[in-house]
Amino acid sequence: MQTFLVDEPSRLDIFLAKNLQQSRNQIASMIEKNCVWVNDKIQNKNSFKLKVGDKLVLNLPLVEEAKPKFDIDFDIEILYEDEDLLVLNKP
């Protein structure tokens, strides 16, 4: 969660793009997913006008680590391995 205090009037998407150094498309996606709160209320309009003193909270969901869909269970003999080369015994 990140918190910002608005120090100059601006559009919501422009303010976030400037402060997060993200593209406006990425910012628009965050806003549409209800990740942005302005003065304790969800704000989902890119063009929302911020005023000096507004409190802005960005609450991004945690990304879970991808888990394999299957177990890898096979035996292949490694004959040689270094930084650039892998030699397997292909039966």
- Could you say which architecture CATH assigns to the domain 2-58? Roll (3.10)
pLDDT digits (tens, 9 = 90+) for 11-62: 999 999 899 888 888 889 889 989 999 999 999 898 999 999 999 999 877 6
Q: Considering only CA atoms, which of 39, 26, 54, 52 is closest in space to residue 16?
A: 26
Rounded to two decimals, what is the model's pTM? 0.63
Whole-number Å distance between alpha carbons of 44 and 35:
8
Burial (CB < 10 A; 0-12, 13-18, 19+), residue 50, is: buried
Domain ranges of the chain: 2-58
The length of the chain in residues reads 91
